[in-house]
Structure 1
Amino acid sequence: MTSAIQYQGRKARRTGSEQRRQAILEASLSIIVREGIRAVRHRAVAREAEVPLSATTYYFKDISDLIADTFTLFAERAMKEVIEPFKEQAFGLMSQFSRDSLENPQERDRLVKMLAQMMAAFIVDELQNRRDHVVAEQAFIQEAILDARLRELADMYLRQHVETLTMACELFGCKEPKLDAELIFATFLTIEQRLLVHPEKISQEFVEKRMYNMLDKVVPLHG
């Protein structure tokens, strides 16, 4: 995915210039998380990044280019720091099971419980320790509805999640692995969104109960 990502704004030609451009994107992302996308303006970003106003307008003449590149940075970073580590953890857990072992109802239930625990721990950790990432992700997905230039990037980003879950569902032997993967990911997003609004509900038990209920319907019992 990262090789397919294309930035919109003016390219930096020197190391110092790239650092300044990066600082502008970081500042834009901070404003989005704190105040929302509509608060992203050249003056606000320049002030946040502690750079001259001329620097933001040099790299990003169009504010929509700045927003698009901010989400490009977010997607690129999320691939390395969130999606890949989660993928490794999930497939490491599933390597303990085989499709034959899932013919045993107890083993199948053990897998469902372990996956529910792992996913719940991941969501709780995201909301407690990387809340900015979750807020930015939700903002990114919502903005793609309004900005056609973001749709391809958003689709690419979301597809990475679904493809990982599709591989997992294929290992489970699901009849409709892609549809089941979409269901799992939709549950993920819905729970995160709900807990952003109601942080008082954030707990391992709250999330795990809902993930188990969904996974118990998705993971087939063989034999």
Structure 2
Amino acid sequence: MTSGSSDSGTEKSLSYQGRKASRAKSEHRRRLILEAALRIVIREGVRGIRHRAVAKEAEVPLAATTYYFKDIQELIVDTFTLYTEKALSVVNSFADQFYQPLQQLAAANPELFNSGVISDEAVHTMLDYLVEQLTGYVREQVSSERDMLIAEQAFRYEAIVNDRIRELSLMHRRALFGKIEEFMAVMKSPAPKEDAELLLGLFHSMEYTGLLTAQDDIDFDYVSSTLRRHLSLLVPDLLQRR
């Protein structure tokens, strides 16, 4: 079983388009501007990004935004480059947190990953672990990472109409899809790529529903039961008595 390594090489492809900062102080200001622009996307959508609005949000002179970004398009692209950087960090962090205890579970229950008979107890142990971890991931996404999910919705539309942002969106998707496909392969899925597609679609659906629902009203018991149902169907070679 392989580990969810953060060294996927994906981050190395990220590149900002605006003027490069030559000093640490300048880089700090440039980062402030991009963080401010991302907050505006979360609050108002992409159309809220204007040099004057971003400068006000970042509490920097208007000249600073026009110095680092020659036009609004460049500012928008670099804002979503920052988003992608943050989103990839979340993906890699979850993978690292997920795989370590999964490896410990596999070591303690070797029958889970062998081709022999799987006991009821082992099946329940694995399924309970998966549901708990993935429910926790959804919970984190719709609560502490809620702003990032909102940005993602704006990101998706811009990816349709903007070639550069489409590249960033595909980069993020490939990274997330790759982690899920790896997970499905570890789970002995007979079709890890196809099952990863189904599970990713399920995540997107639950996250979107979470955004449409007041946080206090989100039914995480339903999230857990839905995940349990899908996981039982997606990896029958592992999660059923043989």
TM range (shorter): over 0.9
> In the alignment, which of 85, 92, 106 is matched to residue 84 of structure 1?
92
1:85 deviation in Å?
1.9
Structure 2: gaps (5+ residues)? 1-9, 107-111
Q: How many residues align?
A: 222
Q: Calculate percent identity across the aligned residue pairs.
A: 39
Equivalent-residue separation in structure 1 for 2:38 and 2:116 (angstroms) = 44
Equivalent-residue separation in structure 2 for 1:149 and 1:112 (angstroms) = 40
Residue 137 (structure 2) pairs with residue 104 (structure 1):
no
Cα contact 1:27–1:45 (8 A) shared by 2 = yes
Q: Which moved more, 1:27-36 or 1:164-173?
A: 164-173
Residue 19 (structure 2) pairs with residue 4 (structure 1):
no
Alignment of 1:168-179 (within 5 A): 168-179=183-194
RMSD: 1.8
Equivalent-residue separation in structure 2 for 1:89 and 1:121 (angstroms) = 11
Q: Which moved more, 1:200-209 or 1:143-152?
A: 200-209
3-state SS, counterpart of residue 153 of structure 2: helix
Residue 181 (structure 2) pairs with residue 166 (structure 1):
yes
> In the alignment, which of 18, 22, 29 is matched to residue 27 of structure 2?
18
3-state SS, counterpart of residue 129 of structure 1: coil
Alignment of 1:140-151 (within 5 A): 140-151=155-166
Provide TM-score, normalisation by structure 2.
Answer: 0.85
Structure 1: gaps (5+ residues)? none
> In the alignment, which of 50, 64, 71 is matched to residue 80 of structure 2?
71
Note closer, same or farther for the CA distance 1:65–1:93 as it changes in structure 2 (3 Å cut).
Answer: same
Give deviations 1:84-138, integer Å, cap 9, x for gaps: 2210222124321342278425223432232122111121122222211221122
Equivalent-residue separation in structure 1 for 2:27 and 2:69 (angstroms) = 13
Cα contact 1:23–1:49 (8 A) shared by 2 = yes
The match for 2:37 is 28
Note closer, same or farther for the CA distance 1:8–1:20 as it changes in structure 2 (3 Å cut).
Answer: same
The match for 1:189 is 204
Q: Which protein has the bigger helix share?
A: 1
Equivalent-residue separation in structure 1 for 2:17 and 2:233 (angstroms) = 42
Equivalent-residue separation in structure 2 for 1:127 and 1:161 (angstroms) = 17
> In the alignment, which of 112, 135, 139 is matched to residue 120 of structure 1?
135
What stretches of structure 1 move > 4 A for 4+ residues in a row?
Answer: none
The match for 1:153 is 168
Equivalent-residue separation in structure 2 for 1:75 and 1:108 (angstroms) = 36
Q: Which moved more, 1:188-197 or 1:87-96?
A: 87-96
Cα contact 1:145–1:151 (8 A) shared by 2 = yes
Cα contact 1:28–1:45 (8 A) shared by 2 = yes
